[in-house]
Chains A and B, each alone.
Chain A
Amino acid sequence: GPLGERPLLEVRLGELPAWISTCSFSPRGLRGAVQRAWSSYCAKYIHVKQGGPAGISMLLAGYCLLSYGWNYQHLKQHRWRKYH
């Protein structure tokens, strides 16, 4: 389909800037994007008849990574070696 309506996973790497230029960065547009992403994730991994641990574990892993990133400056001070 046309570039503006394709989901992000189907956009090729070379077309990425063009695709980013087509999406709206207004609050409504961002909210819509977040809503779409969340609902597609839920539809794929959570709202199924036989889901496994994968649905929540991916969310928890993402949360772990995010919180590690947020606390990185503090954790950097507890390194074992000074020079890598």
Chain B
Amino acid sequence: RALCPLVPAAPAALRALPPPVAVGVLHTTRQLHTTQQSLAPVPPLPEKGGEVRHGLIPEEFFQFLYPKTGVTGPYMLGTGLLLYLLSKEIYVVNHETAAAACILTVIIYGIKKFGPDVAAFADKLNEEKVASVQAVKDEAMQALQTAIEAEKKEQWRAEGRSYLFDAKRNNIAMLLEANYRERLLMVYNEVKKRLDYQVAMQNLRRQKEQDHMIQWVEKNVVQSITPQQQKESIAKCILDLKALSKSAHATL
């Protein structure tokens, strides 16, 4: 406890850990930004500085004396002070006074003549700096904006996952169905082949029996025809033919 004087509001469960672990863990649960104020964005610089009159005396001094002495008060004060300093020789006039007068003349002339140009140049430099940094910021914002839109697009795309899964399910179902039908066909073909074989075997057997029986019957019949029977059958046939020819002549 002595190591962490700022004990933040943390769950009691975290504080119940052994002290070395508790110190480390408590620092992770410390709130980072406890107030609204943060260091960024930095507030912009004010446009104009404090008002100064004649380049030396701040305006607040004139405002301070205005209620009591009006507009000329500070000037009277300044004149009186100057005369007092000169007459009592608290300010001694010597060669440095002449040097100061010349230098001040030159400086004031320079400022009055070249001041606005230098100010414009400095403003332009500032403007360029600000513009370049602003461009960087704008680019970053643009990039982040496009990233946000791309992310939203991806989220929208992810919503269609149900369609994707349905299509995949359909594909799989079709594959299973096709496989099942293939196998069914194969089974049917195999069974048909076996049944056809049986049928062909039966047909062959019957045909062979039939042929064999016909041959046997013919052979026996031919054997049983004796020559006497053959002569009688031929004579009968001739008589039949004659009768037939007679009937045919009669019908003509």
A48 with B92: CB separation less than 8 A: no
Q: Is the interface of B mostly helix, strand, loop or mixed?
A: loop
Of the residues B48, B87, B92, B93, contact of A49 by C-beta under 8 Å: B48
Q: Is the interface of A mostly helix, strand, loop or mixed?
A: helix
* A14 nearest CB across to chain B (Å): 16
B45 with A44: CB separation less than 8 A: no
Q: Does A17 contact B (CB under 8 A)?
A: no
Query: With a CB–CB cut-off of 8 A, which chain B residues contact A55?
Result: 49
A45 with B56: CB separation less than 8 A: no
Q: Does B94 contact A (CB under 8 A)?
A: yes
Of the residues B50, B89, B94, contact of A44 by C-beta under 8 Å: B50
C-alpha gap A54/B119 in the complex (Å): 13
* B107 nearest CB across to chain A (Å): 9
A84 with B52: CB separation less than 8 A: no
* B94 nearest CB across to chain A (Å): 5
Query: With a CB–CB cut-off of 8 A, which chain B residues contact A47?
Result: 45
Of the residues A58, A75, A79, A80, contact of B52 by C-beta under 8 Å: A58
A75 with B92: CB separation less than 8 A: yes
Q: Does A26 contact B (CB under 8 A)?
A: no
Query: With a CB–CB cut-off of 8 A, which chain A residues contact B93?
Result: 80
A54 with B52: CB separation less than 8 A: yes
Q: Does A81 contact B (CB under 8 A)?
A: yes
A49 with B89: CB separation less than 8 A: no
Of the residues A44, A61, A79, A84, contact of B56 by C-beta under 8 Å: A61
Query: With a CB–CB cut-off of 8 A, which chain B residues contact A45?
Result: 49-50, 52
C-alpha gap A78/B123 in the complex (Å): 47
Known: A49-B126, A54-B55, A58-B56. A84 touches B49 (CB 8 A): no
B49 with A46: CB separation less than 8 A: yes
Query: With a CB–CB cut-off of 8 A, which chain B residues contact A46?
Result: 49
C-alpha gap A52/B118 in the complex (Å): 11
**What 6 pairs between A and B have smallest CB-CB spacing?**
A54-B52, A48-B49, A44-B50, A45-B49, A51-B49, A79-B89
Known: A45-B49, A52-B55. 4 other contacts (CB 8 A): A50-B49, A57-B56, A58-B56, A84-B89
A–B complex contacts, Cβ < 8 Å, 12 sampled: A45-B49, A45-B52, A47-B45, A49-B47, A49-B48, A51-B48, A53-B55, A54-B49, A54-B50, A58-B56, A75-B92, A80-B92
